[in-house]
Chains A and B, each alone.
Chain A
Amino acid sequence: SQQGEEDPQALSIQEGENATMNCSYKTSINNLQWYRQNSGRGLVHLILIRSNEREKHSGRLRVTLDTSKKSSSLLITASRAADTASYFCATESQGGSEKLVFGKGTKLTVNP
């Protein structure tokens, strides 16, 4: 079963606006990762945040993690049309397994 659940399922914004996507999960984790998938392509890793971190930045991306609420958010600032894609969170559970469990994703459309 899917552990990560993204919210919203779909998001449509104008270029220049910020986009925020949320992810909730159920079990204790080692880390949480965000991936991006363009239509018809494989997933691309964006950013990883460890369970002992609360916030991380990479370029226009900002990720937060709240382990007490078992939730994470991905913020894309100053969005561009090229950011149009589906975004997935993936969790690596504690216990030594390197399995990632992916959510069903948020489909982001950035209108020019």
Chain B
Amino acid sequence: DAGVIQSPRHEVTEMGQEVTLRCKPISGHNSLFWYRQTMMRGLELLIYFNNNVPIDDSGMPEDRFSAKMPNASFSTLKIQPSEPRDSAVYFCASSFRGGRNEQFFGPGTRLTVL
């Protein structure tokens, strides 16, 4: 298995632009998590899905952030409009709920908003 796949790996954009981050979870996993990591705040859970349904989005910072999971093999995290304080590494992780609940992380997308 290729593991969790994220794209792009790096994104540099200007303030006000729309940013879309993509994630393909491990085949057979039924839970998907989006995290944000910064030096100041550490690793924060933004939202997670189970069986493609959003279960907890309490970590989504504000309405500028949205996430979708149209099917079991794809999810997006969108920021519109982006701001410099959104600069961070965004990780996607997947797991199989009902198993050991260990999460498998993708390599992350490093976002820089100028």
Residues of A within 8 A of B (CB): 2, 31, 33, 35, 41-45, 48, 88, 92, 97-105
Contacts and interface: CB of A to CB of B under 8 A. Distances in A.
User: Main SS of chain A's interface residues?
Assistant: strand
B102 A33 contact: yes
Contact of B95 (A98, A102, A104): A98
B14 interface: no
Q: Which of B48, B55, B103, B104 has the most CB of A within 10 A?
A: B103
Interface residues of B, number: 23
A97 to B, nearest CB: 7
B85 interface: no
A48 B103 contact: no
Given A99-B56, A103-B42, 17 more contacts: A31-B101, A42-B106, A43-B43, A43-B93, A43-B105, A45-B102, A45-B103, A45-B104, A48-B100, A48-B102, A92-B101, A97-B55, A100-B33, A100-B103, A102-B42, A102-B43, A104-B43
B50 interface: yes
B60 to A, nearest CB: 13
B97 interface: yes
Contacts of B95: 98
30 contacts: A31-B101, A33-B102, A41-B107, A41-B108, A42-B4, A42-B91, A42-B93, A42-B106, A42-B107, A42-B108, A43-B43, A43-B103, A43-B105, A44-B105, A45-B102, A45-B103, A45-B104, A48-B101, A97-B55, A97-B56, A98-B50, A98-B97, A98-B101, A99-B56, A100-B45, A102-B42, A102-B43, A103-B42, A104-B43, A105-B42
